[in-house]
Structure 1
Amino acid sequence: MIDIDTLKNSKGTKLYRKAKTLIPGGSQLLSKRPEMFAPDIWPAYYSKAKGCHVWDLDGKEYIDMSIMAVGACILGYADEDVDAAVIESIHRGVNSSLNCPEEVDLAEALMELHPWFDMVRYARSGGEALSIAVRIARAKTKRDIVLFSGYHGWTDWYLAANLADKSGLDGQLMPGLEPNGVPRGLTGTAIPFDFNNIESLRKKIIGKESEIAAIIIEPARGEEAPSQYLKTLREISSEIGAVLIYDEITSAFRMCAGGIHCRYGIYPDMAVFAKSMANGYAMSAILGTEDVMQAAQSTFISSTNWTDRVGPTAALATLKKYQKTKTDKHIISIGNKTKKIWQDASLKAGLQINVTGLPTLAAFEFKSKKPMDLNTRFVIEMLQRGFLGFRQFKPSLAHSDIELDKYKNAIEEVFLLLSKLPDDKIISSPVAHAGLYRLTKE
């Protein structure tokens, strides 16, 4: 057991306090802020990561049973095959006045997985890739309005939904986002609708049929996509001449090689991938039909760093190993076993939880008057037992039954402890933030 005072006084917690004086918000990604897990206790920084193990700045080792780099490292940290390919590419030059041939090789590999698409453009992060997709859709249709369901990043086109109504994004994962800095002239150009609610979509379309450039959804994030919903979206998009875009930044490669929409046989005009496609290296891709993608030539979309060799090389190596090892089958199995661990341990302890999500994007929530208190205490107790534990889990190829056996023992012990705590005795340290809402209020 790691002593709680040791966690509070770790090099990582001290460095994070310093970081907040130098970096607005303390870090570059909301989902990695210690406030999301256990304020003043979460280690914050790593010195080394390998497989599904992470070492903090004090050299303490943890098994990562949490977000695994927000889902980016699907093969595990520092995968030897992917890293070897990247290191070789570095020795041959990361960038030059000429283009790297790997971007053509990757295009062919992606089209082989998705034969309904014809062309691809690359970027290095999910948010910018979505913005590229929106730009292309608007260029293709010569229209401005985007209808969307789900979370789609930080850029202006998306946050514009909160210009007219500050609660516009409240039903889209991240409530309370302020659109400060977004031009007021974008008011009315991004309109949300409810997931799996065609009636909600139709109401937003009425009277705007000729103004809608794109309909964007996450086909599956928490649960499997309803096929009839996707089919109707496809029909509506074609009927009004809008570009149908699947945001697969999170869902791609989680349940199969390529986009999760491969499982449904209902194809969009464009799809956007990032996160898992390069096992932690910066890489994203926008795939689409030639008819839509050629519109990129009628606008200006260009960046020096989109031409480096590392991203495509890492993506090719990741895809090769993913297919060779059948990573999808492994992480589905690990995810299902983890969900069962949660369910069995909660029943054994008499602790009420609700388990949700795809096996590869699994989550649970405490059914309690003080769920965030329990979430925070859970994280702390798991840290003390040598785990990065959280209410979400994104399995990787590196996770095995060895880690799961250790995790099972810790979960049973912690769930039993939590079940016996009175509401006013759950935690004495600061409570983790609920979602991302309070993070916007700092």
Structure 2
Amino acid sequence: MDEKAEPAREQPTYTLAQYERAKQLIPGATQLLSKRAELFAPEQWPAYYTEAEGATVVDMDGNEYVDMSYMGIGSCVLGYGDEDIDTAARNAIDNGVMSTLNPPEEVELAETLVEMHDWADMVRFGRPGGEAVSIAVRLARAYSGDETVAFCGYHGWHDWYLAANLEAEENLEDHLLPGLDPKGVPQSLEGTSVPFHYNEIEELEQIISENDLGAIVMEPIRNEQPEPGFFERIREIADEQDAPLIIDEITAGFRENIGGYHQKLGIRPDVAVYGKALGNGYPISAVVGREHVMDQAQESFISSTFWTERIGPAVALATIEKYRSENVHKHLIEIGRSVREGWEGAAERHNIPLHTSGIDPLPHFSIEHNEGQAAKTLFVQEMLKQGYLTTDSLYASYAHTPEMITNYLDAVDTVFETIGTALNSGTVLQQLNGPVAHTKFERLN
């Protein structure tokens, strides 16, 4: 596939038909909320691919796009179909993916991860990221003997996390999406998970005044930098409560450094959890931690057949090796910074009230206007016509080249001109070829 995609001229009829079929066969249409077409451009977003290579994707109708959006929801940091990583996977397949015995690669990967974290002693592996955070929470509660988890940020779909909405349905609104109904989560879990906001240390102080903590779970960063003293006090509270501090690196990890963003911030947690970038699209997650917490796995039953397959640890080793040899994080920072600056420049030229945030490799924007969500939908729609999968966020990839960024930002400038004119004339909705993108979790049919 070429570096620069040709504009998509055909309406993706097969792709859209497949999505309509999915709605009848798969509740919610997709396995992952973030891949719902309704979150991008309903009735227009090409939900299915037949081929992905580098930073390009081909849909079911043969339309080729440059992916300037989520790159496998942040999992393909090296790009789609990276030959070095795929070779590691093929070798694992050739040598047998599963047997009655264990793959030795998991020991090598554990050694590698412990060496990368001078505060850590042991590792357990999972496959999905949310599953790994649940493992970490179980271990922390087993160690502390207390149930209450104070958390900040997004940490998956499992009962321990959604239990926050049993007490108040808006508890998770600032941590992922509104509309997350905890239906099916046992009512007995009410009060066991309590949210606090990033940089709002007084909220955590209030939680500990009312509860004995079993764990503190948080992302090291997402939209803003920590204020001075924030994480120092977090660490003090964890020690005072004897509640393990769990840092969720599933999104931030391996973006601005080789390892976790907590290392860049100087945080010394009790547990760090990795996923997404660890396997470049192959399922592998890791729970890295101090012995006194990790050893609880010998007391609490935590076990799964498919945590012992070979491909995950084999590709994780290859991925870490490539991050190191190619200084991938430096490329991600440069790409993300260029895109952010490009968005801001185009918005200024075309009088769009744009706000950008996020770390350099994971920039995102919002259009600060009462028709901002419709304008975002128009952006996605018009960029599809230019041959790009894009949205209001970018997960920078090693496969993104400077030429791609130049071409992408040229297209952004053209589309932002259209959006600026539409916002000024109040015609954004009239220019949409489908509904406005969803902003919350909701039924599709």
- Normalising TM by the smaller chain, what interval? over 0.9
The residue aligned with 2:4 is: none
1:46-195 → structure 2 map (5 Å cutoff): 46-195=49-198
The residue aligned with 1:12 is: 15
How many residue pairs match? The answer is 436
2:204 to 190, 197, 201: 201
Contact 1:345 1:411 survives alignment (8 Å): yes
Name the amino acid aligned to 1:340: E
The residue aligned with 2:3 is: none
Distance 1:85 1:425 in 2: 48
Q: Displacement, 1:2?
A: 3.4
Distance 1:225 1:64 in 2: 30
Q: Displacement, 1:174?
A: 2.1
Percent identity over the alignment is 44
**What secondary structure, in the 3-state scheme, does the structure 2 residue paired with 1:392 have?**
coil
Q: Displacement, 1:186?
A: 0.7
The residue aligned with 1:339 is: 340
Residue 247 (1) aligns with residue 251 (2): no
Distance 1:174 1:271 in 2: 24
Distance 1:392 1:362 in 2: 6
Q: Displacement, 1:284?
A: 0.3
Distance 2:195 2:219 in 1: 12
Deviations 1:201-247 (A, max 9, x none): 11111132xx3100111111123333521111000110111111111
**What secondary structure, in the 3-state scheme, does the structure 1 residue paired with 2:177 have?**
coil
Q: Give TM-score, length-normalised by structure 1.
A: 0.96
Deviations 1:87-131 (A, max 9, x none): 011000001111000000101111111121000000001111011
Q: Give TM-score, length-normalised by structure 2.
A: 0.96
Deviations 1:46-67 (A, max 9, x none): 0100111111111111111001
- CA gap 1:438/1:102 in 2 versus in 1, 3 angstroms: closer
- CA gap 1:53/1:161 in 2 versus in 1, 3 angstroms: same
Deviations 1:24-79 (A, max 9, x none): 00000000000010001001000100111111111111111001111000000000
Name the amino acid aligned to 2:19: Y
Residue 262 (1) aligns with residue 263 (2): yes
Deviations 1:339-385 (A, max 9, x none): 11111111122222111111111001112110111111100110000
Contact 1:177 1:440 survives alignment (8 Å): no
1:381-400 → structure 2 map (5 Å cutoff): 381-400=382-401
The residue aligned with 2:45 is: 42
The residue aligned with 1:326 is: 327
The residue aligned with 2:376 is: 375
Name the amino acid aligned to 1:118: D
The residue aligned with 2:434 is: 430
Distance 2:274 2:443 in 1: 26
Name the amino acid aligned to 1:360: P
Deviations 1:252-272 (A, max 9, x none): 111111111110222110011
Name the amino acid aligned to 1:415: F
The residue aligned with 1:232 is: 233
Name the amino acid aligned to 2:286: A
Contact 1:331 1:360 survives alignment (8 Å): yes
Q: Displacement, 1:431?
A: 3.2
Distance 1:171 1:42 in 2: 26
Q: Displacement, 1:438?
A: 4.1
Q: Displacement, 1:425?
A: 4.0
**What secondary structure, in the 3-state scheme, does the structure 1 residue paired with 2:321 have?**
helix
**Structure 1 vs Structure 2 CA RMSD:** 1.3
The residue aligned with 2:291 is: 290
Q: Displacement, 1:305?
A: 0.2
**What secondary structure, in the 3-state scheme, does the structure 2 residue paired with 1:305 have?**
helix
Deviations 1:161-211 (A, max 9, x none): 111211221222222210100011111111111211111111111132xx3
**What secondary structure, in the 3-state scheme, does the structure 1 residue paired with 2:343 have?**
helix
Residue 350 (1) aligns with residue 354 (2): no
Q: Displacement, 1:15?
A: 0.2
Deviations 1:282-302 (A, max 9, x none): 010001001111011111000
Distance 2:141 2:301 in 1: 12
Distance 1:430 1:10 in 2: 14
Please, which moves more after superposition, 423-432 or 321-330?
Answer: 423-432
**What secondary structure, in the 3-state scheme, does the structure 2 residue paired with 1:373 have?**
helix
**What secondary structure, in the 3-state scheme, does the structure 2 residue paired with 1:361 have?**
coil
**What secondary structure, in the 3-state scheme, does the structure 2 residue paired with 1:41 have?**
coil
Distance 2:428 2:380 in 1: 16
Distance 2:403 2:336 in 1: 14
Contact 1:37 1:376 survives alignment (8 Å): yes
Distance 2:409 2:433 in 1: 26
